[in-house]
Structure 1
């Protein structure tokens, strides 16, 4: 687990630096920064928009006495998308927007559901109770 995290924290910055250098050499530094700022502004707007919609759905579910589990997962994914957008770079911006768009978020949720089912069927989750 720690090795995977180490790889992520090593590989992602390398990808970001590579992309920034490549894009900057093609369109120039000012244009590159302008694109990154534009993507961040769009992402902030999308995060606010999706976050508001999700909060409304959570309130609706709670007012009807239901647990808003799907909406809570959506909220977590929107939060992750916002965190990725706050990280400068094209790769993390792409991933962040992927987490914010409802259609692509459905893909992520479906994949998470399949992954969870696979882990449960293999006994990948063990509940331990400490007394």
Structure 2
């Protein structure tokens, strides 16, 4: 069951290294490093903006007496996307931007919702009231 995780832990750095080499052959090593730094800065700024927006929307829903379920999943997507943007690499940047970008985030939100729903049905995730 845990084998795919080890495989991903080994595969992702290899793919990222190949991406670095491929891009640096085309535009040069210096420009590749600057591109990685630039995408990280843009990604972190986008993370900050979208994160504040998600928190404000969640507060608004709570003030109306509604559960901010979808906003919580949006927050998780923004957090995961921001974490991926901090990692150096082009593949992680593409996935991170798609997690943060508001037009593609509903795809991930739907997948997360189905995953949480499945985990709740089989008893892996339980909620307790205090």
Runs of 5+ unmatched residues, structure 2: none
Instruction: After TM superposition, give the deviation of residue 128 of structure 1 in Å.
Output: 8.6
CA distance in 2, matches of 1:25, 1:113: 41
1:86 aligns with 2:86: yes
SS in 2 for 1:46: helix
**Cα deviations across residues 7-64 of structure 1 (Å, max 9, x unaligned)?**
1111100000000011111111110011111111110111011001101011101111
Contact 2:73–2:112 at 8 Å: present in 1 too? no
For 1:128 and 1:107, the matched residues in 2 are separated by 22
**Where does structure 1 lack aligned partners over 5 or more consecutive residues?**
none
Q: Select the residue among 120, 123, 126 that pairs with 2:123.
A: 126
Matches within 5 A, 1:17-36: 17-36=17-36
Alpha-carbon shift at residue 114 of structure 1 (Å):
4.7
Residues 124 and 8 of structure 1: CA distance in aligned 2, closer, same or farther (over 3 Å): farther
Partner of 1:47: 47
Q: In the alignment, what sits opposite 1:64?
A: 64
Q: Give the TM-score, by structure 2 length.
A: 0.87
Secondary structure, aligned partner of 2:104? helix
1:124, distance to aligned residue in structure 2 (A): 6.4
> How far apart, in 2, do the equivalents of 1:37 and 1:29 lie?
13
Cα offsets for 1:71-104 (capped at 9, x unmatched):
1100000000000001101010111001000111
Using the size of structure 1 for normalisation, the TM-score is: 0.86
RMSD: 2.1
The total of aligned residue pairs comes to 126
Aligned to 2:12: 12
